Amino acid sequence: MKNGSVESEAAFRAEVRGWLRGNVPAEPSPPITRDGIEQASYLRNWQRQLFEAGWAGISWPKEYGGRGLTQREQIIWYEEYARAGAPDGSGLFVGLQHAAPTLMLCGTPEQKAFYLPRILNGQDIWCQGFSEPNAGSDLANIRCRGTVVGDHIVVNGSKIWTSFAQAADYQELVVRTEPGSKRQKGLSWLICDMRLPGITVRPILSLDGEFHNCEVFYDEVRIPLTNVVGKLGDGWSVSMATLAFERGTAFIESQMRLSVTVEKLLDFARKAQGSGGRPLIEDSSVAEKLGNLRARAAALRAMTYHSAARAMTQKVPGPEGTYVALMLAELKQEVYRLWLELLGPQGLERGTGHDPANPVEKYLFSYAGTIGGGTSEIRRNIIAERILNLPKHDAVAEIPA
């Protein structure tokens, strides 16, 4: 298939749509429980099915097991994937969208050869060990220590808000390996086997009733020096590359899902009855809110296309993807909030978390989007400083004398 032509893209879209129509699982993804075993098994099986059918790693280079297609085909896949209601692969997000591109950019040949195939075929699940107590959005404030002892790094400390750590096989772990170093200096990016002795995982119950996040404790955990990605002490630059991939095109699937959700909400408003037995959408205030959400979803989609187009010409995505991440997180909250408002008292009922007609759990969990990966305030600072070139904010100047 010749990439880039309208005809080839239309043929690719038809191929994707046809395969998804016949293969999307009928059963929904199970909830994330305290041990995460059922969810992990579901995700591994689905990713293996995608891999065996040739639908995993569409834009991955062929040398790493992908199809070597462009971001245009990758976007087409995400669009059709979302429309088909295919499984939410957020439990595989860190491996596919964080670890894999970071290893492609900064990993050794040995690291690439071992880990990349296992990520792509669903064999391994990854989690992220960045955030710490008192150092959530402030990544440079890391205190988790890694002491070089012979050919190992001995890790002590803790991490928090680690998504899906209870079922993960590996972790992208950033620790402070230079004693006395501060802020961005002296950090290292490590591959941590989550089955090593000395690791304790404590799942955290979320508002939606599932266990998305965990605390992770490290007590004399010995990680081989061969698991350092990049150079020892150069973890900040490697971490910035990791986060750049997250802020670049990693949220395309989530954005596409949100567009589909907006259309479902519109369909709900057309069918559901309001006062006087008239469809909700005939209420001018409801129609105005829905129109606003639909327009913003379309704007977000255009921004996503623009971000993906830039990514085609950049080895590492720039900070422009922060626009998309910020708008996506905040718009998702508003979409589900309006849905609950239209449901009325019914919206207070807790369901399974997988029922699109009762989205209360999704609304509750949507607040994680404006915290995880950097709060909305952090993202606005990135936009102001790195994109608009505004001067850094001095909070002290706001304190009255």
What are the tokens at 129? 């060990």
Three state DSSP letters for 89-124:
CHHHHHHHHHHHHHHHHHCCHHHHHHHHHHHHCCCC
Single out the residue of 336, 373, 39 nearest to residue 203, CA to CA: 39
What are the residues whose beta carbons fall under 8 Å from the beta carbon of 128, sequence distance 6 or more? Answer: 94, 98, 162, 163, 171, 172
Residue 279's DSSP bridge partners are: 273
Which residues are catalytic, by number? 246
Work out the end-to-end distance of the chain between its first and last CA atoms, rounded to an integer number of angstroms: 68
Answer whether 363's CB lies under 8 Å from 352's CB.
Answer: no
| Dist CA 328 CA 397 (whole Å) | 31
Single out the residue of 400, 245, 256, 232 nearest to residue 328, CA to CA: 256
Three state DSSP letters for 135-174:
ECCCHHHCCCEEEEECCEEEEEEEECCCCCCCCCCEEEEE
Answer whether 259's CB lies under 8 Å from 301's CB.
Answer: yes
What are the tokens at 188? 């290292």
Residue 4 burial (CB < 10 Å; 0-12/13-18/19+)? Answer: exposed
What are the residues whose beta carbons fall under 8 Å from the beta carbon of 95, sequence distance 6 or more? Answer: 119, 124, 125, 126, 170
| Dist CA 223 CA 17 (whole Å) | 44
| Dist CA 279 CA 203 (whole Å) | 43
